[in-house]
Structure 1
Amino acid sequence: MPITSLDSQTALVLIDLQVGVLRMPTAHPSAEVLRNAVRLAEAFRHSGRPVVLVHVAFAPDGGDTLRPRADAPRIPSALPADFADFPAELGPESGDIVVTKHHWGAFYATDLDLQLRRRGVTGVVLAGISTSIGVESTAREAHDRAYNVTVAADATTDLHLPSHEHSLSVLFPRLAEVGRVDEIVSLLPQPVLQP
């Protein structure tokens, strides 16, 4: 289904497009997902809309990682030094908002909601890795906070293809509008250049 519109105050929120995550084996090539996300970021910056880069990071001693009993541990015990770094082509650029999270969702225990509300943001476009974890958790949290949510399907991927497809086809349509980068970019107003 096509995206109907974007709010005039819409921010782009990119989830976990960081060096350590981009190295993981994904259902779709992470280089392609990153290219599409960079295109979105450039378009949002050009139109004067906020760009939020979210990454997951932990203290060197691992003291701030969650350790619930689970069948599949989420965080390896040792992460490479550059795990949380953003790739150079993504930024951040001057004016971008950087959010560090310690959980799946970008709103939990961060200042993301505060940063968006202070800028009058009422809608968010989400993209990143992984669709069924960081992006989906953030979409749920944004929906619960009454943001209008749009998901850029071709700027997301997952470590597990069935999980990616389930999020896009079953869950996101209940929380958001789902579209492609071209469609989202076409809905962004272009700034008026002064003579």
Structure 2
Amino acid sequence: MVETLNLKKTAFVMIDLQKGIALRPHLVPYSGQQVLDKNERIAKKLANTQATIVCVHVKNDGPEILRPITDQTPISVQKQPADFSDFVLPIATDSSVKNLIHVKKHNWGAFYGTDLEVQLRRRGIDTIILSGIATSIGVDTTAREAYQAGYQLISIEDAMTDFNAALHNDTVEHIFTRIGRVRTTLEIIEMIARS
């Protein structure tokens, strides 16, 4: 079966491709730079088309930070650098791209507590192409939220990465294949070209 996309009803949602996360060392199975390159390549293919491009970044070091009581030793809360949430993809700040929106989140997922769903519903979006960092945290939570909201979901396995390769692989294989489709960057680009 040849897969295509209805670009008018499709959003490419990139999770946490920001300076304080994407530029960290030791991301696996793909480096932060590999993930950035693949996301930039897809976003350029969608720039100024009928699709919607969504750059999501997290900011949670102020009074909005969650402080749950957990069984694990809490990660020490340190003041984040002022540029922690800055987007690092060139397309994210390219004013010539008219179909791009930014969403600031304060939780793992991009839906809860943000205007993402309002932005997507107003545009008639029914399909989300999903990527970002970290696969088992922000991407997974956003994928589950999208699934529960009734969106068709396509996760891009090689345009996301994690801090733990086993978690990346398990999330892709055991979660994303149950709530949507999993494709590669090349497959997504081919789908865009046919649409």
Query: Shared fold by TM > 0.5?
Result: yes
Distance of 2:75 and 2:134 partners within structure 1: 13
- What is the number of equivalent residue pairs in this alignment? 188
- The match for 1:153 is 157
SS at match of 2:93: coil
- The match for 1:99 is 103
1:84 equivalent to 2:85? Answer yes
Higher mean C-alpha deviation, range 23-32 or range 8-17: 23-32
- The match for 1:34 is 36
The normalised TM-score by structure 1 is 0.89
Task: Give a deviation string over 1:51-74, Cα, whole Å, max 9, x none.
Answer: 000000136xx2110000121435
Aligned residues of 2:126 and 2:152 also touching (Cα < 8 A): yes
Please, what is the CA RMSD of the aligned residues?
A: 2.0
Say if 1:156 and 1:72 are closer, same or farther in 2 by CA, change over 3 A: farther
Higher mean C-alpha deviation, range 64-73 or range 14-23: 64-73
User: Identity percentage over the alignment?
Assistant: 38
Higher helix share: 2
SS at match of 1:91: helix
- The match for 2:63 is 63
Say if 1:124 and 1:180 are closer, same or farther in 2 by CA, change over 3 A: same
Distance of 2:2 and 2:130 partners within structure 1: 13
- AA in 2 matched with 1:111: D
The normalised TM-score by structure 2 is 0.89
- The match for 1:23 is 23
Q: Where does the alignment leave 5 or more consecutive residues of structure 2 unmatched?
A: none
- AA in 2 matched with 1:82: D
Distance of 1:48 and 1:7 partners within structure 2: 9
Q: Where does the alignment leave 5 or more consecutive residues of structure 1 unmatched?
A: none
Distance of 1:88 and 1:174 partners within structure 2: 30
Distance of 1:88 and 1:158 partners within structure 2: 18
